[in-house]
Structure 1
Amino acid sequence: HCPARNISIARNACLDASIADFVAFIDDDETATPSWLAELVAMAGASGAAAVLGPVRARYRPDAPDWMRRGDFHSTLPVWVRGEIQTGYTCNVLLRMGSDSLRGRRFSLARGQTGGEDTEFFDQMHKAGGRIAFSPEAWVNEVVPRSRAAFDWLGRRRFRVGQTHGHLLGSSASGIGLVKQVGLASAKAIYCFASALPVVVSPVRRNRSVLRGIMHVGVVSGLVGIREIRLYGQPSPQEGGKRAA
């Protein structure tokens, strides 16, 4: 039972109810490919990781902007830092429930409508010693609705992603360390915006640089403690709502 529009409540209800060795999550607007689950399980067995991520392939409507289709701005892949994946997402993941790093772990209710609850979940899991693996053939497909096929939606999403990252960085920094983090994120934002100028005639490259700059502005926002913007839990999917499945 999920008594409120909060994606963390739904995910936690799944974790509370499950007695399985593994739990897999995808989103309700995604379609799994035939070998999806088999690929995740195979990688879990081969790697012994606490979590296995798969790729999410965006499927654009014919009326989506050409630059967006060419740049593929909505597909999801993990990010490697110094040769390892340090956080993850729930739009395509398999969890090994017996892992010490996952035992009793739940999604933050406070982030259940802003987004970022999965980033925080996997960040904490990783810090607790849980390894994250990637299964490149465990594909799921996601149709991008018209409401999200717009630069302003991408901008809000990148800003919120940056806010989450900033809050996580800020939780372990203070004083001079925090000032350095703010300075670094600010410098990265300025660099990204400046990098967009020489490629202003190329919509894909320009928008990629601008969106990355917006993300770093979000990092600054998160570092100084500004509350994260609300992306989910809206009255209808057309307004940007999202549910877990």
Structure 2
Amino acid sequence: MTQTLEICVCTYRRPQLAATLTSLMGLERPSGYALSILVVDNDDHPSAAEMVETMATDAPIPLRYVHCPEGNISIARNGALAHSASRFLAFIDDDEVAPADWLLHLTREMEKTGADVVLGPVEADYADGAPDWMRRTRIHATMPVWVDNRIITGYTCNVLIDRQKPVLRDRLFDLSLGQTGGEDTAFFAKVVAEGGTIAFSPDALLRETIPPNRVSFKWLLRRRFRMGQTHGRLVAENGASFRLWTITVGKVVYCAGATVLQVFWQDRRNKAILRGALHLGALSGLAGGRGLQQYGPEFTQRQSE
């Protein structure tokens, strides 16, 4: 029996989308799967429509476009869930490129493990001039988070999900996180909390070219702080104990001390600072602090100024 698998690309004013779609057109089709591609445009105007529809005219894999405005990534992700009838959904970001065997590895891992979700890694490609410490530490790479040999959450930049599994039926992305980010972390954390399983396919590698605005320590600090906020918010939903508050404060203090002790070792110092920002964000999330905006028209305008 042939299974349906759709690759969803949520996009928002990204010129790299063309390269992403071009890479997807060269995918090898996993045996027993019928492939298609869905582009979900989250811009207030259908800015990607013409390019996608032009590519669709002679695409070797069926390609279609839907417009789900505006400036809230959760709206786009929920739009993918609503507009796709496929059992299996793969998500890839609109600034990534896929090798021909990407889906082969994801589907094989899901078939082998029976997992509800399978993640793959994302590696960063830097332009000339990027700081050496970023290259050495692979600070922009994306990998799963393991606790006690179990993956406890996931991400949408490289994932395959089985929508027929009970923990994924009717599950949606949180609209309140759609401009701050972390909506995918919350989505998959709840899958695991309700008994779902997440597997990892190390060979299902995607690559992402890091744009100039993200090759900055300030951007990394904001991102780590926001990640911490999401974690803190999820924990707070179930009630945060005094012990947890104490542990989180202790982690902030530890990272501050590690920063001082390693001040002359750039790689270690910067990683300690970023780790501290993560835990500070967790404190903010536990306290119900307002999330940092990462998406939407207002954020895009500030980034361009």
TM-score range, shorter chain: over 0.9
2:257 equivalent to 1:191: no
Secondary structure, aligned partner of 2:173? coil
Unmatched 5+ residue regions in structure 1?
Answer: none
CA distance in 2: counterparts of 1:29 and 1:172, whole angstroms: 35
- What residue in structure 2 maps to residue 202 of structure 1? 265
1:181 to 221, 241, 244: 244
- What residue in structure 2 maps to residue 83 of structure 1? 149
- What residue in structure 2 maps to residue 21 of structure 1? 87
Contact 2:155 2:185 in 1 (8 A): yes
1:111 to 170, 173, 177: 177
- What residue in structure 1 maps to residue 204 of structure 2? 138
- What residue in structure 2 maps to residue 37 of structure 1? 103
Contact 2:293 2:299 in 1 (8 A): no
Deviation at 1:83, TM superposition (A): 1.0
2:133 equivalent to 1:70: no
- In the superposition, the TM-score normalised over structure 1's length comes to 0.93
- What residue in structure 2 maps to residue 8 of structure 1? 74
Deviation at 1:3, TM superposition (A): 2.0
Deviation at 1:23, TM superposition (A): 0.1
Contact 1:167 1:219 in 2 (8 A): yes
- What residue in structure 1 maps to residue 290 of structure 2? 227
CA RMSD of aligned residues (A): 1.5
- What residue in structure 2 maps to residue 214 of structure 1? 277
Deviation at 1:22, TM superposition (A): 0.5
Aligned-residue identity in percent: 48
- In the superposition, the TM-score normalised over structure 2's length comes to 0.75
CA distance in 2: counterparts of 1:26 and 1:234, whole angstroms: 22
Partner amino acid, structure 1, of 2:145: V
Secondary structure, aligned partner of 2:161? strand
Deviation at 1:236, TM superposition (A): 7.8
- What residue in structure 2 maps to residue 122 of structure 1? 188
CA distance in 2: counterparts of 1:102 and 1:239, whole angstroms: 36
CA distance in 1: counterparts of 2:206 and 2:298, whole angstroms: 26
Per-residue deviation, residues 179-235 of structure 1 (Å, max 9, x unmatched): 222211110011011012222111111000110011001100100111111112246
Deviation at 1:162, TM superposition (A): 0.3
Secondary structure, aligned partner of 2:159? strand
- What residue in structure 2 maps to residue 95 of structure 1? 161
2:229 to 143, 160, 163: 163
Per-residue deviation, residues 109-148 of structure 1 (Å, max 9, x unmatched): 1111100000000011111111000000000000111000
Aligned residues, how many? 238
Unmatched 5+ residue regions in structure 2?
Answer: 1-66
